Every structure is written in C-alpha cells, then in structure tokens.
C-alpha cells in the first residue's frame, strides 16, 4: 500500500476531442476520482443542471467547437458559483488564460496531460477554500 492519500471527488471534464476527454477520464479514475465527460459546452451545462451538486471540479478546455469555453464557464458559474475550475489547453498558459481574467480560476493544466500535473492541479483546487481562486 502506498502512502498516497485516496482521492475523492467528482471532476467534470469538458473537451470537444473525445480521445482527450477519455484519456483525462482514465487518468482521473486511476487517481480515485469519479469523472464525468462532456464533449460540448451545452452538454456540460446539462450535466451541471442534472448533477451539479456532485461536481467538485470542472476541467475545461480553452477551445470548444460550439459553445465557447467562456460562455460555458459563465453558464456553469450561474448554476454553481463556487465550483472549482481548472483550464486546460495545448496552447501557452498565459495566452490560454488571457480571456478568463476575473472568472475565479483554480488552475491550469497543459495538454497533453501529465499524470502528476493533473493530479496536483485537482488536489490543489479541492484544497483551496471556496471563493479563494486565482
């Protein structure tokens, strides 16, 4: 048995590339988290409407095909103002987070996902007190 604490919580993954969403889901499951997957912004909002109280962290891709990530985030925040949100992108962190200023983000994870970076970002977001985002 490792000395690593067992992870708990539910992460909503929002990524319009199904293979990336599945990869993130597998990684999160291996860390002990439950993972919900949405491949479009509207689908993510519907999941939040149906299961919002279960969602602890949202892993949001910066670029979505239909509903923009910014609009998706605004709709999710309307439903769950205190949910933790981690942005993810294959682009540069500063460039990716530029349009999200003032929207209480809880981290950034570059793609492709690195196990340790993803785990550390989710754990850090969960440990952060409500309303104390970056």
List pLDDT tens digits, range 119-131. Answer: 999 999 999 887 6
For residue 5, being part of any structural domain is answered with no
Mean pLDDT, to the nearest integer, of 98-105? 84
The answer as to whether 41 is a domain residue is yes
Domain that holds residue 71: 10-127
Three-state DSSP class for residue 116: helix
Reported as a single tens digit per residue, the pLDDT across 11-28 is 999 999 999 999 999 999
Q: Is residue 30 assigned to a domain?
A: yes
63 belongs to a structural domain? yes
When the pLDDT of each residue in the chain is averaged and rounded to a whole number, the result is 90
Look at residue 60 and tell me if it is in a domain: yes
Q: How many CA atoms lie within 13 A of 126 on its CB side?
A: 16
Asked if residues 118 and 27 have their Cβ atoms less than 8 Å apart, the reply is yes
User: Looking at residue 131, what is its pLDDT?
Assistant: 61
Q: Tell me the HSE value of 103 on the side-chain side, using a 13 A CA sphere.
A: 21
Residue 130, SS3?
Answer: coil
Q: What is the CATH classification number for the domain harbouring 83?
A: 3.40.50.2300
With beta carbons less than 8 A apart as the criterion, state whether 131 and 83 touch.
no
| Total domains present in the chain | 1
Task: Say how far apart CA 83 and CA 115 lie, in whole Å.
Answer: 22
The answer for 33, left when phi > 0, alpha when psi is -120 to 50, beta otherwise, is beta
């Amino acid at each position: 048995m490792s000395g690593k604490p067992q992870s708990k919580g539910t992460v909503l993954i929002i990524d319009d590339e199904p293979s990336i969403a599945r990869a993130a889901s597998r990684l999160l499951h291996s860390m002990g988290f439950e993972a919900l997957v949405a491949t479009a912004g509207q689908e993510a909002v519907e999941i939040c409407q149906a299961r919002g109280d279960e969602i602890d962290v949202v892993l949001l891709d910066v670029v979505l095909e239909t509903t923009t990530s910014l609009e998706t985030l605004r709709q999710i925040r309307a439903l769950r103002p205190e949910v933790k949100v981690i942005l993810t992108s294959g682009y540069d962190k500063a460039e990716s987070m530029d349009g999200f200023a003032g929207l209480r983000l809880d981290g950034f994870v570059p793609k492709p996902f690195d196990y340790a970076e993803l785990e550390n970002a989710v754990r850090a977001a969960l440990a952060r007190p409500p309303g104390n985002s970056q």
